[in-house]
């Protein structure tokens, strides 16, 4: 596969008469964009806002983040099988608006899988998205059946964000990009000796796929990942819209669609390919509920890695708790067949940091990169502007918020300050590879 991503570096975003891109300035016709969003009859109320790094803005409940992109040659959508018909991803030319994202925020109702972003102050350091210029779609839907449910599919809102991201990026479809990233790997059996003699590495990704009811899990070419068995994928497919985020995991553990589109681990492996490693590709695995299912998936992954000739593997899980069993099972299965393996995950060590970090452990899992503690308490002062509804953090069962605690009270205080667990920080742990967190020595 030969993928070229043409980048346009957004210096500023503004509203104006025409949706266009010129000399780093992205201009959006707000009325036309909202009319496009409201073509979906399930969107009952919507507004479009712009927030930038340093703004005194708090966003909650945040549901999704997408990088605006458009396919140049094929005429297909950027999310095949989801916003358009099933078609190959990972080939051809895709144009991307860099340094910005489309954020989807609920106008009122939040849930277990939604999170919070602060664009300035102490809270800004906890999430990558505070560093981006964000086009914020804040909206509500007619999905009354789930408004007060703790677990939401957020179907209409998420799809509105994905479609809006492509709608906005259409303005650069016919422009010359400022930079072109090239992603190409030769067929594994046809690589030259210099590359083939390097240590061979495969990336194992475990996207969230535990929910047996459809509509919550990550999607692969529009297919619910719960239906999958471990599957070998070209890394270009992941970077080019074949995989999109679901609506299930506690939010700090979530991989947003933006994270799949810009996966730093994949990009780093690409940079080292032919220099220090032979990058084989991606095994897209799944997360299961029953122990037998977890063991079966791990066996699939190990067999596939061995057959590909992997010397080493990186395993990254989306989530924690029940998925820890899949994560460790997979690492052990790889180590048992002689594939040296490193894991990437966050931890749930309790608010005091003294609980077992993963639900299950094994002495063979002796190389794990930690991306932070989901239970860490975070206290943040009031913010000048709230987009969405602050009370959703306390009222609606966000994974890091609560309505009342016998010691701490409500997550949302009368003055607008908050106390919450890291769990509710939108994509805060960044297991995909760009967590800002580090170790602290005592």
Tell me if 195 is assigned to some domain: yes
**Which residues are bridge partners to 9 per DSSP?**
98
**Residue 76 pLDDT:** 87
pLDDT class of 440 with cuts at 50, 70, 90:
confident
Interval 280-316: pLDDT, tens: 999 999 999 999 999 999 999 999 999 999 999 999 9
**Residue 65 pLDDT:** 98
Q: Match 């990972």 to its residue by tokens.
A: 90
**Residue 356 pLDDT:** 92
Question: 3-class DSSP state for residue 287?
Answer: coil
pLDDT at 436 over 80: no
Q: Which residues contact 49 (CB under 8 A, 6 or more apart)?
A: 135, 136, 138, 387
Domain hosting residue 44, numbered range: 2-424
Which contiguous run of DSSP H or E holds residue 269? helix 264-272
Tell me if 440 is assigned to some domain: no
Provide the domain count of the chain: 1
**Residue 420 pLDDT:** 97
427 closest CA partner among 238, 236, 246? 246
Query: Using an 8 Å Cβ cutoff, are 28 and 221 in contact?
Result: no
**Residue 352 pLDDT:** 84
Tell me if 438 is assigned to some domain: no
Phi and psi at residue 10, to the nearest 5°: -80, 115
Interval 317-375: pLDDT, tens: 999 999 999 999 999 999 999 999 999 999 999 988 889 999 999 999 999 999 999 99
Query: Using an 8 Å Cβ cutoff, are 359 and 294 in contact?
Result: no
Interval 203-229: pLDDT, tens: 999 999 999 999 999 999 999 999 999
CB atoms within 10 A of CB 230: 23
Tell me if 442 is assigned to some domain: no
Which contiguous run of DSSP H or E holds residue 35? helix 30-37
Tell me if 60 is assigned to some domain: yes
**Residue 202 pLDDT:** 98
Interval 62-73: pLDDT, tens: 999 999 999 998
Cα separation, 115 vs 46, in Å, equals: 19
Q: Give the alpha-carbon dihedral of 407, 357, 294, 189, to 10 degrees.
A: 140
CA distances from 175 to 2, 72, 178 (A): 20, 10, 9
127 closest CA partner among 383, 437, 438, 368? 437
Interval 227-247: pLDDT, tens: 999 999 999 999 999 999 999
pLDDT at 386 over 90: yes
Query: How many alpha carbons lie under 13 Å from residue 204 in its C-beta half-sphere?
Result: 37
Tell me if 330 is assigned to some domain: yes
Mean pLDDT rounded to a whole number for the chain: 96
Q: Find the farthest-apart pair of alpha carbons in the chain and give their distance in angstroms, rounded.
A: 66
This prediction has a pTM of 0.97
């Amino acid at each position: 596969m030969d993928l070229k991503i043409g980048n346009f570096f957004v210096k500023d975003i503004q509203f104006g008469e025409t949706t266009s891109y010129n000399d780093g300035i992205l201009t959006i016709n707000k009325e036309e964009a909202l009319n496009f969003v409201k073509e979906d009859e399930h969107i009952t109320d919507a507004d479009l806002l712009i927030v930038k790094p340093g703004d005194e803005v708090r966003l909650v409940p945040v549901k999704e983040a997408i990088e605006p992109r458009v396919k140049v040659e094929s005429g297909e959508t950027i999310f095949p099988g989801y916003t358009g018909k099933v078609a190959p991803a990972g080939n051809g030319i895709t144009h991307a608006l860099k340094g910005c994202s489309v954020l989807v925020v609920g106008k009122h109702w939040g849930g277990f899988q939604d999170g919070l972003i602060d664009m300035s102050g102490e809270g800004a350091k906890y999430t990558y998205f505070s560093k981006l210029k964000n086009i914020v779609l804040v909206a509500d839907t007619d999905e009354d059946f789930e408004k007060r449910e703790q677990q939401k599919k957020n179907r209409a809102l998420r799809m509105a964000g994905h479609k809006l991201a492509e709608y906005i990026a259409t303005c650069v479809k016919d422009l010359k990009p400022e930079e072109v990233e090239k992603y190409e790997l030769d067929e594994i059996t046809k690589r030259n000796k210099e590359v083939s003699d390097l240590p061979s590495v495969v990336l194992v990704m475990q996207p969230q796929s535990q929910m047996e009811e459809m509509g919550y899990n990550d999607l692969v070419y529009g297919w619910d990942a719960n239906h999958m068995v471990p599957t070998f994928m070209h890394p270009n497919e992941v970077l080019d819209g074949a995989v999109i985020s679901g609506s299930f995991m506690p939010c700090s553990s979530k991989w947003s669609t933006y994270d799949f589109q810009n996966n730093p681990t994949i990009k780093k492996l690409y940079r080292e390919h032919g220099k220090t490693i032979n990058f084989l590709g991606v095994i897209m695995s799944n997360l299961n509920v029953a122990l037998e299912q977890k063991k079966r998936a791990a066996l699939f992954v190990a067999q596939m890695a061995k057959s590909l000739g992997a010397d080493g593997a990186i395993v990254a899980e989306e989530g924690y708790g029940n998925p820890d069993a899949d994560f460790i099972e997979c690492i052990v299965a790889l180590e048992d067949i002689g594939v040296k393996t490193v894991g990437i995950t966050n931890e749930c060590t309790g608010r005091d940091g003294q609980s077992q970090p993963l639900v299950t452990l094994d002495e063979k899992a002796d190389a794990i990169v930690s991306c932070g503690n989901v239970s860490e308490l975070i206290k943040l002062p009031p913010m000048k502007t709230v987009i969405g509804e602050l009370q959703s953090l306390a009222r609606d069962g966000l994974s890091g918020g609560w309505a009342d605690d016998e010691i701490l009270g409500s997550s949302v205080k009368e003055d607008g300050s908050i106390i919450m667990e890291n769990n509710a920080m939108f994509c805060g742990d960044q297991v995909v590879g760009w967590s800002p967190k580090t170790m602290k020595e005592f």
